[in-house]
């Protein structure tokens, strides 16, 4: 079942992922480093604010809608009422802030529009995910990505700069929501609002929302520090390389989590803790088996990846930081999509909040200390150290609330296959021709799959023998 859902979400996220890479390629060619820096700064602030203000609604929906604790119309009416109240408050604050004298005044309204559209769009996405509707999820994601790129690039070409890219993203979100999610809300009455349900959503989701806001701080605060200590151009050069690596691994991790998390929750709700642990072990093996080689391949082939995707002005910086960002994304993914599950399934999200608070504080302090002397590399070092600390603390502290399985033997096998693959493709690390680059990627993938079969990771031979007779006899 996990493999089936994963495949569906690969299809659902595949096109949006490709379009997002296309957007990175387009914007690093149409925008100057300073303009891309403005764009990246607004995205970072919107990301942090969305996590803090709206994400508790999304998390509560994903956790409790499958449990059917109230009728669906009551659930959705409660979510919508909470969202509308928060949206009005955000709008009032944005208008007041615009009235103040500040240098970034021209970015406030695009940022506000993007914040509200992000909150609504993510609500629709999680609604599709919670109901295990990957096709509808894919329509929403693909529609948003395509419309955002077309409108955003058009506005940038007409001279709107960073504002055009931001408005394009907001328009893509709202249009795709209207086309592919409006049926979920039709005929809904706000009088169905349930105070008891809202209280339950707040208690469960708000600590997690603050937790994710802190995670966003670790991921994005470096851009604010670079803007403060250097300039927007440095921020833009750094953000392009960071976005490239984090988007690639982020899409992979999100696909797996979208398929795996609801299955783990459903196993816990319907069959108990042991069934949930069995499902979680399968989830972890799948995560590691895909993300380890992806991160290693990205690190080794960084010159080819950056040369093919992002604009020439941004490439030199990107080649330097992409391997480090790949490591940071790997650590962050293991923490967020696996070890943090102990707090969520154990319904002790405050514990998760404490762990991330430590990691966030470490990140902020290290950014302040390292960036003045090491510039962008100081920001990278701070991010990697903070994620590593968060991962270790989450693994240790989470065991109090829910025992997560860690199949050490399978992880060692996967790591071995990844190391061998990395050594083989290393001679191709400077390939920037697309044919040579694709050859190195295909070679690495074939070798890695061969090693997975040889080492029989998670019974790979038995699974392969169902498709290829005789594979299970390989030695």
Are 327 and 442 part of one and the same domain?
no
Predicted pLDDT at 154: 96
Is residue 412 a part of any domain in this protein? Answer: no
Are 434 and 389 part of one and the same domain?
no
Predicted pLDDT at 103: 62
Work out the mean pLDDT of the chain and round it to a whole number. 86
Instruction: Detail the DSSP E strand segments found in 29-154.
Output: none
For the cut 70, the answer to whether the pLDDT of residue 10 exceeds it is no
Are 359 and 452 part of one and the same domain?
no
Are 268 and 345 part of one and the same domain?
yes
Are 338 and 469 part of one and the same domain?
no
Are 441 and 392 part of one and the same domain?
no
Is residue 411 a part of any domain in this protein? Answer: no
Are 464 and 380 part of one and the same domain?
no
Is residue 413 a part of any domain in this protein? Answer: no
Are 51 and 192 part of one and the same domain?
yes
Are 325 and 471 part of one and the same domain?
no
Predicted pLDDT at 475: 45
The boundaries of the domain holding residue 424 are 418-475
For the cut 70, the answer to whether the pLDDT of residue 3 exceeds it is no
Are 266 and 160 part of one and the same domain?
yes
pLDDT digits (tens, 9 = 90+) for 359-370: 999 999 999 999
Domain count, the chain: 2
- The tokens of 188 are what? 């809904």
| H runs (alpha helix) in 310-433 | 312-334, 341-345, 349-397, 408-425
Contact of 309 with 244, CB cutoff 8 Å: yes
Share of the chain above pLDDT 90, in %: 43
Is residue 24 a part of any domain in this protein? Answer: yes
Is residue 214 a part of any domain in this protein? Answer: yes
Position 474 confidence tier, pLDDT thresholds 50, 70, 90: very low
For the cut 80, the answer to whether the pLDDT of residue 118 exceeds it is yes
CA torsion angle for 375, 378, 380, 385 (degrees, to 10)? -170
Are 372 and 228 part of one and the same domain?
yes
Is residue 254 a part of any domain in this protein? Answer: yes
Q: Return the closest-CA partner of residue 287 out of 249, 239, 327.
A: 249
Are 61 and 26 part of one and the same domain?
yes
């Amino acid at each position: 079942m996990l493999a089936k859902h994963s495949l569906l979400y690969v299809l659902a996220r595949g096109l949006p992922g490709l379009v997002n890479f296309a957007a990175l390629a387009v914007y690093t060619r149409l925008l100057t480093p300073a303009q891309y820096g403005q764009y990246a700064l607004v995205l970072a602030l919107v990301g942090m604010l969305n996590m803090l203000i709206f994400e508790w609604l999304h998390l509560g929906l994903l956790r409790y809608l499958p449990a059917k604790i109230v009728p669906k119309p009551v659930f959705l009416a409660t979510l919508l009422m909470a969202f509308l109240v928060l949206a009005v408050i955000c709008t009032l604050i944005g208008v007041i802030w615009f009235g103040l004298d500040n240098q970034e005044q021209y970015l406030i309204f695009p940022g506000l529009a993007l914040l509200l559209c992000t909150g609504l769009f993510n609500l629709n996405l999680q609604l599709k995910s919670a109901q295990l509707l990957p096709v509808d999820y894919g329509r929403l994601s693909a529609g948003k990505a395509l419309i955002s790129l077309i409108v955003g690039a058009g506005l940038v070409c007409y001279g709107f700069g960073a504002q055009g890219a931001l408005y394009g993203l907001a328009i893509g979100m709202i249009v795709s929501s209207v086309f592919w999610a409006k049926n979920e809300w039709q005929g809904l009455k706000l009088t169905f609002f349930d105070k008891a349900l809202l209280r339950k959503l707040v208690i469960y989701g708000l600590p997690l929302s603050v937790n994710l806001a802190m995670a966003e701080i670790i991921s994005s605060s470096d851009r604010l520090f670079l803007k403060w200590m250097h300039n927007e151009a440095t921020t833009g050069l750094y953000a392009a390389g960071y976005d490239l690596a984090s988007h690639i691994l982020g899409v992979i991790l999100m696909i797996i989590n979208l398929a795996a998390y609801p299955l783990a929750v459903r196993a816990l709700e319907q069959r108990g803790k042991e069934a949930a642990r069995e499902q979680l072990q399968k989830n972890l093996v799948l995560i590691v088996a895909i993300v380890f080689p992806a991160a290693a391949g990205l690190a080794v082939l960084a010159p080819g990846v950056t040369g093919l995707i992002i604009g020439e002005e941004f490439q030199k910086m990107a080649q330097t930081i992409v391997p480090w960002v790949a490591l940071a994304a790997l650590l962050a993914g293991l923490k967020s999509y696996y070890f943090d599950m102990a707090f969520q399934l154990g319904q002790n999200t405050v514990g998760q909040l404490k762990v991330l608070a430590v990691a966030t504080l470490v990140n902020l302090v290290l950014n302040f200390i390292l960036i003045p002397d090491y510039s962008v590399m100081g920001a990278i070092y701070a991010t990697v150290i903070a994620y590593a600390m968060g991962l270790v603390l989450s693994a240790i502290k989470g065991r109090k609330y829910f025992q997560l399985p860690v199949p050490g033997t399978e992880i060692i096998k996967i790591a071995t296959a990844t190391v061998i693959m990395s050594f083989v493709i290393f001679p191709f690390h400077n390939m920037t021709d697309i044919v040579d680059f694709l050859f190195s990627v295909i070679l690495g993938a074939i070798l890695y799959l061969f090693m997975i079969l040889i080492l029989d990771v998670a019974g790979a031979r038995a699974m392969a023998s169902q498709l290829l007779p005789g594979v299970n006899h390989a030695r």
